[in-house]
Structure 1
Amino acid sequence: MPDRKNVYLFYSPSDELEPKIQEMRAIGKKYGFRLVHDFNEANIIASIGGDGAFLQAIRKTNFREDCLYVGINTGRLGFYTDFDIDNLEGIQEGLRSDNVEVFKYPTLDVTVDGSNTFQCLNECSIRSQIIKTFAIDVYIDDLYFETFRGDGMVVSTPTGSTAYNKSLRGAIVDPRLKSMQLTEISSLNNNEYRTLGSPLLLSGDRELVLKVVQDGNDHPIIGADNEALSIRHSHEIRIKVSDKVIKTVKLKNNSFLQKVKRSFL
């Protein structure tokens, strides 16, 4: 990272964390890095926390493609956080060795009702906001596929496949595959309503369209990663794999499959 020296730290300040932040600042200064207070001036954005903090860092800094994101964990190592704040020697070693590499995480482009657009790194979810099922007409590349009735649906990226998607018994997907996965939340399957009933993996060049059937429960909650969006009266959600990627700094000896093994096996 010789040409990237402006660093923005994304974290929630606390008395317990501040001494460790000061140590990190000293290490960064030793290697010629400069802390900036405006993320627009940074070419490295470091989140300090867990995977949730990493997702928030990317969202709050507008999914920048022109900088590197680094995840530094304050607890158990996650899928997006390769470094540990309690192992400052490991962080320092990463700054001076060739044991780090840039990995590109796929994202989703989401458009709601043709006007509200946003990106997701993990998943986009659509769920009922009341204790009542709702219906969604599912289209793939303008082909009507099915009508879903249930509690909602989740569309995940390969890296997001280990999160909400996995809890719904979706497949874990290698992030080298440019794809998205559609997974149902408590679907109804009977003589009147019939869905695929299993996760569906779609190629990265597909477009998925979810049309909310207007039957009295047409104000679902739209979720972008770990954040609920204040979008009401949603009728149509268009989702596709974005051409934009998130560039992250990771350890070469901590691959996606190694993280899956460590987390679930």
Structure 2
Amino acid sequence: MKVAIVSNSKEVSVNVVDELKSELTENNVQLDQINPDLVITVGGDGTLIGGFHQYAQMVDHIRFIGVHTGHLGFYTDWRNYEIKELVKAIVEQEPTSVSYPLLEVHIEEENACTRHYLSLNESTIKRVSQTLKTDIYIKNEFFERFRGDGVCISTPTGSTAYSKSLGGAVIHPRLKTLQLTEIASINNRLFRTLSSPIIIAPDEWITLLPEHVDDYVVTIDSTEIKHHSVRKINYKISDKQIHFAKYRHTHFWSRVEDSFLGQKKKNDTLL
């Protein structure tokens, strides 16, 4: 097995990386940043998302493990003080593979240039300083004419991120679906939108036809991409998925409870 390590620059993460490299080397695990079988990220969910984009072109045949050096995250199963246990599991156990949907984004510009992106959490479109105006289609059928600050399209794993702060639903990551949430929509006698999150089926897709202006900003996860002229954007569930190596199971709803509520007590389960 060949292992790559992706880390943020915080001191605690750098120290964990040193320990991780030492433990892997002692156990004869090959380190390979170019063509790994396994990618271990050290930091938080943002670091794992960065690692995903670094190796997105290889996502079909690699798996990810997240080590958290802060509070618990949705993509991280291991803590910074569990490095010996993690390496022992990598060397001695056969992990299960858990796969989550990815968002595929196709952007057509006015100059006929087409750009393609993969997103783990979400993609948004906004304007720099003006109101966004765009027609929204679902499976090529007109749905609504949106006016507001922007639109967010998220994956199930992204439903606990920016989409949730916009009032979106929390979706279990085993569901292959997309969610559209509006960002500060305008609703009055002239402009009407649904003003509610929309969850679409796996065989459907979302298309935006924005008005012809030259100051659009599109985000792919945490990366901001300025597109001077956008003619059309298509969003759909990708044929590709991100794969995680699971050596132990953490219930998704336990992650949600711990991150947003933190009220569960030890042994607080139904029998």
- TM above 0.5, one fold? yes
Cα deviations by residue, 1:50-79 (Å, 9 ceiling, x for unpaired): 101111111122252111111111111200
* Cα distance, 1:144–1:74 mapped onto 2, change above 3 Å: same
Residue 248 of structure 1 pairs with residue 244 of structure 2: yes
Is the 1:84–1:90 contact (alpha carbons within 8 Å) kept by the matching residues of 2?
no
Is the 1:126–1:154 contact (alpha carbons within 8 Å) kept by the matching residues of 2?
yes
Residue aligning to 2:51: 57
Give the Cα–Cα distance (whole angstroms) in 1 for the partners of residues 248 and 33 of structure 2: 30
The equivalent position to 1:141 in structure 2, one of 134, 139, 142, is 139
Aligned residues: 256
CA shift at 1:26, angstroms? 2.4
Residue 11 of structure 1 pairs with residue 7 of structure 2: yes
Residue aligning to 2:102: 107
Residue aligning to 2:218: 222
Letter in 1 for 2:208: L
Residue 167 of structure 1 pairs with residue 165 of structure 2: yes
* Cα distance, 1:89–1:184 mapped onto 2, change above 3 Å: same
Give the Cα–Cα distance (whole angstroms) in 1 for the partners of residues 23 and 200 of structure 2: 44
The equivalent position to 2:29 in structure 1, one of 19, 28, 33, is 33
Residue 67 of structure 1 pairs with residue 62 of structure 2: yes
Q: Specify the SS of the correspondent of 1:175.
A: coil
In structure 2, list runs of 5 or more residues that go unmatched. Answer: 262-271
Give the Cα–Cα distance (whole angstroms) in 2 for the partners of residues 37 and 124 of structure 1: 27
Residue 95 of structure 1 pairs with residue 90 of structure 2: yes
Residue 185 of structure 1 pairs with residue 186 of structure 2: no
Give the Cα–Cα distance (whole angstroms) in 1 for the partners of residues 92 and 202 of structure 2: 34
Percent sequence identity over matched residues? 32
Relative to the length of structure 1, the TM-score reads 0.90
In structure 1, list runs of 5 or more residues that go unmatched. Answer: none
Letter in 2 for 1:227: T
Residue aligning to 2:193: 195
Is the 1:212–1:218 contact (alpha carbons within 8 Å) kept by the matching residues of 2?
no
Is the 1:151–1:186 contact (alpha carbons within 8 Å) kept by the matching residues of 2?
yes
Relative to the length of structure 2, the TM-score reads 0.88
CA shift at 1:170, angstroms? 0.3
CA shift at 1:148, angstroms? 0.4
Residue aligning to 2:268: none
Letter in 2 for 1:115: T
Residue 42 of structure 1 pairs with residue 53 of structure 2: no
Give the Cα–Cα distance (whole angstroms) in 1 for the partners of residues 238 and 19 of structure 2: 37
Q: Specify the SS of the correspondent of 2:228.
A: coil
CA shift at 1:84, angstroms? 1.3
Q: Specify the SS of the correspondent of 2:61.
A: coil
Give the Cα–Cα distance (whole angstroms) in 1 for the partners of residues 247 and 32 of structure 2: 24
Q: Specify the SS of the correspondent of 1:235.
A: strand
Give the Cα–Cα distance (whole angstroms) in 1 for the partners of residues 43 and 118 of structure 2: 21
Residue 234 of structure 1 pairs with residue 230 of structure 2: yes
CA shift at 1:17, angstroms? 3.9
Residue aligning to 2:118: 119
CA shift at 1:218, angstroms? 4.7
Q: Specify the SS of the correspondent of 1:183.
A: strand
Q: Specify the SS of the correspondent of 2:137.
A: strand
CA shift at 1:185, angstroms? 0.2
Most deviating of 108-117 and 249-258: 249-258
Is the 1:139–1:209 contact (alpha carbons within 8 Å) kept by the matching residues of 2?
yes
The equivalent position to 2:75 in structure 1, one of 68, 71, 80, is 80
